[in-house]
Every structure is written in C-alpha cells, then in structure tokens.
C-alpha cells in the first residue's frame, strides 16, 4: 500500500552529506520533494551529516537531560562509520516530522510484541521499518524516556545509519578510482584504496557519496571490532556544563520579553474564585493579570515584579469538591480496596488458590508514597504568539516534536504555524514527558493574552512541587506459602493501580504457583512516569517480600535468591558479582547491616548491596553501595556507571526522605526543606561493577533506581530487626529497641 | 539613581528596586544566565555566586545589600583558562544535566579558597547544594582529587 522510498539528502550548499532512512507513504512524497529543494537543514532526513571539512554531526532525536546519550549515540554511529572521533559532534534534531524517531517506534514495538529484531523475516524488515516511520510521525515521536535512547535509537537507528553512510562513502571512492568497492577499506574518517594506499577523507567524498542510496541492511560490525563502542570517551556536553555556557529553557532571553509567574489552585481540580486586579494596579512593571479556569498568571516586565504582584493579588480558589481527600483517606481506600474490592487478575500460573489453601499463609502489605520529580530546573516555557496566527516556543521537554504538536493544539493552530525550539533540560526524570505538559498549556494561554511579545512562564519551586504529576502512591499485598525447607510454593500479589496492571510486578524467581491482580483506585492526584516508573514501586515490594521469605526460611538473603534463579544465569551471576564485591559474608560492626536487592528493568539487571549503620538514636547512615549491573554491553562504561551512581542517589533520596502527602485535596510539601533529598553529607561510597554479557543492550538512566530502596530497608532489617514496609524510611522510629521476634 | 553593581569586575548601574533578588538582577538585567534558579529560598544552592569571595545564595540576597561589593559569577570562573575545580569536574566527568553545577562549582571554589585541602567532613558541611541527577559521589571524588594534589604540593614545598 505504502510505497517505500529512501529519502536521501543531497549535498547541501555547505557540502554536507545528509543521510536518512525514511519510508514515505506516497501521499508525502511531493511534500518531501518540496522540502528537499529547500535550503539545507530543513530537509535533513535523519541522523548523520558530513561537512566538506570532515566534521561529522550526529543529529539526535532526543533531548539532552544529562544522561549522556548524545555522546553514546554519537559513539554508536561513529563506530560503524569508522569515523575519527575528534571530528564528531552531536546536535539536537529539529522538532519536525522528518526527524520523527522511527527507531524508537521500532524498539518499543518489538518490545511490546516480544519479538527480537532477528525474529523478523528479512522480507518484512523493510516494510516494518516503513511502518515504524509512519507510526513515529503519527505519534510525533521524539520521546526521551524509557531508558530507550541507546537500546532503541542507537541499535535500530544510529548504528544502521553509520554503517550505511560508510558503504556510500566506499562506493564514492570506488567510483572515483573506477575500482571495486571490495578494494577499499575505511579507517579514521578516510576511505583507503588498499593496494595503492591512495586515500580520501570523508569530507571530500561527502558530496559524491550523497548520490548513492543508503542500504536498509548495511553490514554491521562484529562486537570484537568495535573501536568506540565500549570505550569510556569523555562526554561531548560536559565542557559547556562547567562554565555556565549551556542554555536551558529557563535561559531563553529576548529583548523586551515579559515574565510570567503562576498560581494554580492548591487542590487538584479546584477553580479560580477571585483575583482582584485592582490590588496590583499600582505595581511597577505589571502588564497583565491572566485569569484562567484553575489558575492565575501575573505578567510583568521582570520576574520579581510579577512575583511580588502575585503576593499582593492573593488569588482565592475553591477545592473542586476534593477538600476531604487526604493521604489518610487514600490509605483507607487502598486497604479497603485490597480487602474487599474487585481484584482484576492479570496473570496466573499453576494453581495458587489451591496452594494458598494448603499451607500457612505469609501475608505482608507494603506502600510507597506519591513522589515529585523536583528537577532542578523548574518547569517553564517561553512563548511568542503573534496575532497573524503563529506560535514560537522555547522549552526543554522530553519530546520536542510531540511538544510542538501539543502547543499547536493548545493554541488552536495547525502544526506548521508552530515552531518549537528544544533546549537542554535541567533534569527531567519523566516530568517533561508527554502527558505532563501543564506548563506548556499555561505558557501558551499566557502568551495568547499578550500577543506579539515573548513571555517566559516559570513555575516557582512551590508551584513546580505542588503541580507535578506524581509517582503514584501504591499499596501492594503479598500472600505466600512455602514448603518445609522454606522455598515458596505460592506467590499471590495484589496491588492498587491508577491505571493498567504492570508487568513489572511479575517475578523472575521460580515459584510454581503465581497470581497477580490489581484493584484500580485512582485518587484525584495527577500521576505520571517518574524515573523507572512501575519498577520504582514493584522493585521495592518484590525485593522486600522475597527478603522476608528468606528470613522466614532462615536462609541467607543472597543464597535464597540464587536458589530461585534456576535457568536465569545472568541474574544469578550479577547477584553473585555484587555480593562478592561487597564482601557479603564479611563481618560488620554492631549496628550495621547489609541488604541486597535485584531488579531487572529496561533491559538491564541491577543488583545493589547497601551497607547501613543505624545509630542507637535511630539515625540511618547509608555507608556504602556496591552495585553490579548487566546491560549486555555498556556503550560508554563510564557514562553507564555515572547513571548507576546517579540512580542510587536519586533512589536513596526517595527511600530515605521522599514523600508527597495530601491534605484538603492539595499537596502539603512546598519546597526542598519539606521534600528533602540526599546531599553530600548523606552520600554513600558507591562502587559500580559491570557484568558483561551477550544480552541485547539495556538501558542506563532508570534501572539503577528500583533496587535502591529495598537494598536499604533490607539492610536496616539486618542491622536492627525492624522491617520497613512503608516508605520513606524517615517515617519510622528506628531507635534501638530489643530485637523483634 | 540606580544601584551600582560590580559583577565580574564591571560596574553596572541597575535601575531596580533594592529588594529585587540578586539572582534575578544577574540573570534578567545583566543576562548572565549561568547562575541558576532552583528554589528561591536558599535551600538548594543552584544560584550560588561569590560576594567578596564568599559563597552566597543569590536568590535570597536583596540587590541593595550588595551595592559596591565584588560579585563573581560562573561566567568569570575560568574565563582565562579553566580553574582547577572546573578541570577536575571534566576529569571526573561530574555533570549530568549540569543545571546545578554552576552553583556547585562556585560553592566548591569558595570552599577551596578557604580550605585548599578539605576533608570529607568539611566538604559535606560546607556544600549542601542539591543535585537531583545524583552527581554527588563524583563531586566528592573530584574534590578529594584536588585536596590530594594540594596536600602533595604542600608536602613538596
């Protein structure tokens, strides 16, 4: 039905070779050709440009929020390309459908279908890629999330693009010398004629190479011949991050721009009741009070003037009928739902009911709280709306193309009237993903109230914290029976959800009879993906309960886990590596304990061993984290370790301190003192070890987090005998008491 | 009529209210955006600058209180070749999103001026800045490295 066509960029005026894979439905061909005739970058199909001076630019369809993916993706493309790394750059792809990330669609699609790329018959591979391209465009897909950049964009996009460009350069050189392609090799950004030694730089071949079509199936390197992949090359973005040069969304500056500050109804669902503009009529610099359904924005010539005016304005809101909701009512709702609500079964193996009926049931209930993302750069966007019907937006989000489409819809404009400039983000962790774009909505509405002038709408920290989309509050109940040696026979896990059942609940441990079920009980609190998403709660639940079963069985926590991992050699090996490096069996001083936890998420297995000291007065000091992780192979081992380290600190902040609570339908916490995080004084020693395997490449940004909390609470149990089943740790009094039985 | 503000060696005459926060004057009047906003209540340290050589959280400093003082921002640090702390940040590949790092680097730079070879305890007590990406262990490694080099240099001299 859809015609296939490779969209190949020709040589641009600058002498750049632009290569892309795109499989275009015929209806779009004319549009593509029209765009092709336009100047340079507008037409760039995808991922790789080579300039006449030999500079290679990898165009990345992701945002930079600090996980090092620009470097890792450039490494993957450059390695296949046999590029001279010193000539490689990375830049952000334009927020245009031409750069929709088909590789991401392919990766997510294959994952969803549980098909490996090798499982697709070659006959269908082309149409599959084409379909993914169309899906990516229709979804406006340029998402950065799901720890997907390296394992999807890199594997299905960058490597293939790099290898295809290399083949085109070979063909160009062969044509120049009227020789066969097989007579040439590539090295360090040059094509070399093997017999004569004559060679051409990639820059000088770029224009001619652009005349060839990139293969959808170029020959990819064997792992043993990688030169850049697997190397800890320094990150390309870091130099501009030590001198204040990187420009984030908040740094957008334009002459005569205005600044907006917002106050949203404290209770979710509440409406604006009153905002008396006369109170700010005399305020210097105030330009406009924008009254919205559930919020008010003060626009002024300077931000502090807008903020001061907001204090004076002191708007009033109602509670949207949610004034009775509190953390306590949500807790009662969860417990009641698990006790007597309708449980929807989503998976069953063996006969768990029979097994539960025939043994002594071990039952435990766990809970995790709502959590804010609290990225250091509060959400913001700068928007210029013009009465002629155009919109221009500057912001850091986790999906540039999706943001553009979203802003177009918010403004009631066609997408082609909207320009979106994607900036680096001062942290994302999910907060800037599609579905969580309240800041874009408010910014567009504000801009429409002051047409012709760019306005930067910045949430202050209090608004950012109180109007987030939170990691859900989840309650989970386990029931198990064990055999005479303590090994589990039945594992029945029912938990509350805001949404669908989570595959992340399913265990890797061998238990003959398993059942999983959910009771859907969303509160009015908006929720969304938070770094490691579902794994962030099921990791804590599963790894706490398995630890409890090990204790009940009077078995060592490591030995018990390994004993249930028959047929899972990667998991077992990663566990053993972490334990060995941590000195698992070595003695510790009184008051100290070790805990272990393992979670596989986003294709990566991570095991943490936490070593904690609990002082007599109850203070918890997390002394050390020893980590082993299997992500197949780390494209950039130092970058991978940095993500594990960062994940540990992010997860530790949540485990020890993180808690968003609700009173009168609104969030209680306002700023960092009441939503505290780990700082240097609480930062443990961290040692990360990579367990290499032949598994497909796994993610890095998120998988470090899920095993953090259970490793810590299991260690607290080892140190004190006190089992923490509700996070965060700070809620619990750990003062020294006689050991619980 | 304006407030004389000496930033990175240049005196600017800024026409703002004396209670305007120094952070926003630096960012939105002088367009030096390397200094970041994080919390607005001096809790996170993203806005750290030097005032007369001391680390100060500029979001909570009224601009009128620092008229005439020597104010230094990240833009001046290493403008003529990177300072040791910045080099250490690159060597240890510290930044992730990078947003908090201007404040971190300014805070550490002020600490090192006072204690060229700080202990872990001195570092933890002095640097209470927040990094959400979780670069803290690398920050500590970078400062340990700087402290070790300083101690070694001191032992030689």
- Cα-only R_g, chain B: 16
- Substitution target in A241, A531, A653 with the highest count of B β-carbons within 10 Å is A241
pLDDT of A567-624, one tens digit each?
A: 999 999 999 999 999 999 999 999 999 999 999 999 999 999 999 999 999 999 999 9
Any B CB within 8 A of A461 CB: yes
* Token reading at A245: 């040069």
Pick from B37, B134, B140: CB nearest A647: B134
pLDDT in the model for residue A116: 53
Among B18-27, B59-68, B144-153, the range scoring the smallest mean pLDDT is: B144-153
The verdict on a CB contact (< 8 Å) between A234 and B93 is yes
Query: Which DSSP category does A279 fall into?
Result: G
pLDDT of A281-300, one tens digit each?
A: 999 999 999 999 999 999 99
Residue A44 has pLDDT above 70, yes or no: no
The overall average pLDDT reported for chain A is: 90
**What is residue A122's three-state secondary structure?**
helix
pLDDT of A315-359, one tens digit each?
A: 999 999 999 999 999 999 999 999 999 999 989 999 999 999 999
Question: Is the alpha carbon torsion for A320, A324, A329, A334 positive or negative?
Answer: negative
Residues forming beta bridges with residue A624, ordered by sequence position: A611, A685
Q: Which domains does chain A have, with CATH numbers?
A: 17-241 (3.30.365.10), 249-320+379-458 (3.30.365.10), 474-731 (3.30.365.10)
Closest by CA position to A215, among listed A141, A148, A136, A159: A159
Residue A213 has pLDDT above 90, yes or no: no
Residues forming beta bridges with residue A420, ordered by sequence position: A393
User: Where are the extended beta strands (E) located within A272-404?
Assistant: 272-274, 286-291, 295-300, 316-317, 344-349, 362-368, 380-386, 390-395
Report how far residue A200's alpha carbon sits from residue A182's, in angstroms, rounded to the nearest whole number.
16
Any B CB within 8 A of A568 CB: no
The complex's ipTM?
0.98
The predicted model gives A693-711 an average pLDDT of 97
Residue A104 has pLDDT above 90, yes or no: no
Cβ-count burial A603-616 (b if 16+ within 10 Å, e if not): bbbbbbbbbbbbee
- Substitution target in A243, A430, A461, A700 with the highest count of B β-carbons within 10 Å is A243
The verdict on a CB contact (< 8 Å) between B43 and A425 is no
pLDDT of A474-501, one tens digit each?
A: 999 999 999 999 999 999 999 999 888 9
Cβ-count burial A285-318 (b if 16+ within 10 Å, e if not): bbbbbbebebbbbbbbbbbbbbbbbbeebebebb
Any B CB within 8 A of A243 CB: yes
Shortest CA distance from A375: residue in chain B: B132
Q: Which domains does chain B have, with CATH numbers?
A: 3-76 (3.10.20.30), 84-156 (1.10.150.120)
Residue A48 pLDDT grade (very low, low, confident, very high; cuts 50, 70, 90)? confident
The verdict on a CB contact (< 8 Å) between A239 and B38 is no
Shortest CA distance from A704: residue in chain B: B134
Residue A49 pLDDT grade (very low, low, confident, very high; cuts 50, 70, 90)? confident
- H or E segment at B54? strand B54-57
Closest by CA position to A652, among listed A622, A629, A611: A622
Any B CB within 8 A of A283 CB: no
pLDDT in the model for residue A93: 86
User: Where are the extended beta strands (E) located within A22-151?
Assistant: 48-50, 56-60, 88-92
Closest by CA position to A107, among listed A534, A529, A602: A602
Closest by CA position to A62, among listed A110, A117, A101, A115: A101
Residues 66-85 of A with CB under 8 A from B: 66-68
The verdict on a CB contact (< 8 Å) between B99 and A377 is yes
Residue A421 has pLDDT above 90, yes or no: yes
Residues 299-318 of A with CB under 8 A from B: 302-304
Shortest CA distance from A380: residue in chain B: B37
Pick from B44, B89, B134: CB nearest A242: B89
Model pTM score? 0.93
Measured in angstroms, the CA of B157 and the nearest CA of chain A are apart by 30
**What is residue B62's three-state secondary structure?**
strand
Any B CB within 8 A of A426 CB: yes
């Amino acid at each position: 039905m859809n015609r296939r066509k490779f969209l190949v960029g020709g040589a641009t005026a600058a002498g750049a070779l632009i290569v892309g894979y795109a499989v275009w439905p015929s209806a779009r061909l004319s549009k593509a050709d029209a765009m092709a005739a336009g100047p340079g970058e507008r037409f760039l199909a995808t991922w790789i440009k080579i300039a006449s001076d030999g500079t290679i630019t990898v165009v990345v369809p992701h945002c930079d929020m600090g996980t090092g993916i620009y470097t890792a993706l450039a490494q993957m493309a450059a390695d296949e390309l046999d590029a001279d790394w010193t000539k490689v750059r990375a830049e952000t792809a334009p927020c245009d459908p031409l750069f929709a990330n088909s590789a991401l669609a392919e990766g997510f699609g294959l994952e969803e279908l549980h098909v490996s790329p090798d499982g697709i018959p070659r006959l269908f591979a082309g149409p599959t890629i084409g379909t993914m391209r169309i899906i990516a465009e229709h979804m406006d897909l340029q998402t950065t999330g799901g720890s997907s950049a390296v394992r999807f964009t890199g594997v299905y996009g960058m490597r293939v693009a790099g290898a295809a460009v290399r083949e085109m350069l070979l063909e160009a050189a062969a044509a120049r010398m009227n020789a066969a392609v097989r007579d040439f090799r590539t090295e360090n950004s040059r094509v070399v004629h093997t017999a004569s030694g004559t060679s051409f730089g990639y820059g000088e071949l770029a224009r001619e190479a652009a005349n060839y079509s990139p293969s959808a199936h170029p020959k990819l390197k064997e792992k043993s011949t990688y030169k850049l992949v697997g190397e800890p090359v320094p990150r390309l973005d870091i130099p501009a991050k030590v001198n204040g040069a990187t420009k984030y969304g908040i740094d957008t500056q334009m002459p005569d721009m205005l600044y907006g500050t917002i106050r949203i109804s404290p209770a979710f669902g509440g409406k604006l009741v009153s905002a008396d503009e006369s109170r700010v009529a005399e305020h210097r610099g105030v330009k406009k009070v924008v009254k919205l359904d559930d919020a008010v924005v003060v626009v002024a010539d300077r931000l502090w003037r807008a903020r001061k005016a907001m204090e004076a304005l002191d708007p009033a809101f109602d509670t949207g009928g949610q004034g009775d909701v509190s953390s306590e009512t949500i807790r009662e709702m969860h417990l009641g739902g698990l006790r007597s609500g309708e449980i929807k079964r989503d998976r069953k193996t063996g006969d768990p009911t029979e097994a539960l009926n025939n043994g002594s049931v071990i039952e435990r209930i766990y809970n995790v709280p709502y959590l804010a993302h609290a990225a250091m750069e509060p959400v913001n966007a700068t928007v210029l709306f013009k009465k002629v019907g155009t919109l221009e937006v500057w912001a850091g989000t986790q999906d540039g193309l999706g943001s553009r489409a979203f802003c177009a819809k918010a403004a009631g404009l066609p997408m082609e009237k909207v320009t979106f400039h994607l900036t680096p983000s001062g942290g994302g962790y999910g907060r800037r993903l599609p579905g969580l774009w309240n800041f874009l909505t408010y910014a567009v509405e504000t801009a429409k109230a002051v047409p012709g002038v760019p306005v930067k709408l910045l949430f202050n920290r209090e608004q950012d914290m109180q109007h987030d989309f939170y990691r859900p509050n989840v309650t989970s109940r386990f029931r198990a029976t064990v055999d005479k040696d303590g090994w589990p026979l039945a594992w029945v896990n029912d938990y509350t959800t805001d949404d669908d059942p989570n595959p992340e609940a399913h265990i890797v441990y061998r238990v003959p009879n398993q059942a999983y079920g959910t009771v859907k009980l969303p509160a009015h609190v908006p929720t969304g993906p938070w770094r490691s998403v579902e794994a962030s709660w099921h990791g804590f639940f599963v790894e706490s309960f398995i630890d409890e079963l090990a204790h009940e069985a009077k078995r060592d926590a490591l030995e018990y886990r390994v004993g249930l991992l028959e047929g899972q050699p990667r998991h077992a090996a990663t566990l053993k590596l972490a334990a060995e490096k941590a000195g698992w069996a070595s003695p510790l001083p009184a008051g100290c304990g070790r805990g272990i936890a393992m979670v596989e998420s986003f294709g990566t297995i991570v095991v943490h061993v936490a070593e904690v000291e609990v002082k007599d007065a109850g203070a918890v000091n997390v002394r050390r984290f020893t980590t082993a992780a299997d992500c197949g192979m780390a494209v950039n081992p130092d970058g991978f370790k940095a993500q594990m380290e960062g994940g540990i600190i992010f997860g530790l902040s949540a485990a020890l301190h993180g808690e968003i609570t609700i009173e009168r339908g609104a969030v209680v916490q306002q700023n960092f003192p009441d939503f505290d995080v780990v700082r240097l004084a609480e930062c443990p020693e961290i040692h990360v070890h990579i367990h290499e395997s032949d598994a497909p490449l796994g993610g890095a940004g998120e998988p470090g987090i899920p095993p953090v909390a259970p490793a810590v609470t299991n260690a607290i149990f080892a140190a004190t005998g006190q089992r923490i089943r509700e996070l965060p740790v700070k809620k619990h009094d750990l003062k020294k008491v006689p050991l619980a039985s | 009529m304006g407030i004389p503000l000496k930033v990175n060696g240049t005196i600017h005459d800024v026409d703002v209210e004396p209670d305007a926060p120094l952070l926003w004057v630096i960012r939105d009047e002088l367009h030096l955006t390397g200094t970041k906003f994080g919390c607005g209540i001096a809790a996170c340290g993203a806005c750290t600058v030097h005032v007369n050589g001391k680390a100060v959280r500029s979001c909570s400093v009224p601009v009128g209180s620092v008229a005439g003082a020597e104010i230094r921002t990240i833009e001046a640090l290493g403008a003529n070749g990177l300072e040791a702390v910045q080099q250490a940040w690159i060597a240890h590949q510290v930044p992730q999103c990078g947003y908090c790092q201007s404040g971190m680097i300014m805070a550490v730079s002020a600490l090192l001026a006072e204690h060229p070879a700080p202990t872990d305890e001195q570092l933890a007590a002095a640097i209470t800045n927040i990094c959400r990406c979780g670069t803290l262990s690398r920050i500590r490694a970078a400062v340990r490295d700087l402290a070790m080099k300083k101690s070694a240099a001191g032992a030689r001299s």
